[in-house]
Amino acid sequence: MSFQEYLKYLTKLFVQYVETPQAERRKPAVVRETWSSRWFGVIPMAIKMIFMRGR
pTM of the model: 0.46
Number of Cα atoms under 13 Å in the Cβ half of residue 52: 6
Q: What is the pLDDT of residue 31?
A: 80
Contact call for residues 44 and 37 (beta carbons, < 8 A): yes
**Residue 50 — left, alpha, or beta (φ > 0 → left; ψ -120 to 50 → alpha)?**
alpha
pLDDT tens-digit readout, 6-30: 999 999 999 999 998 888 878 877 8
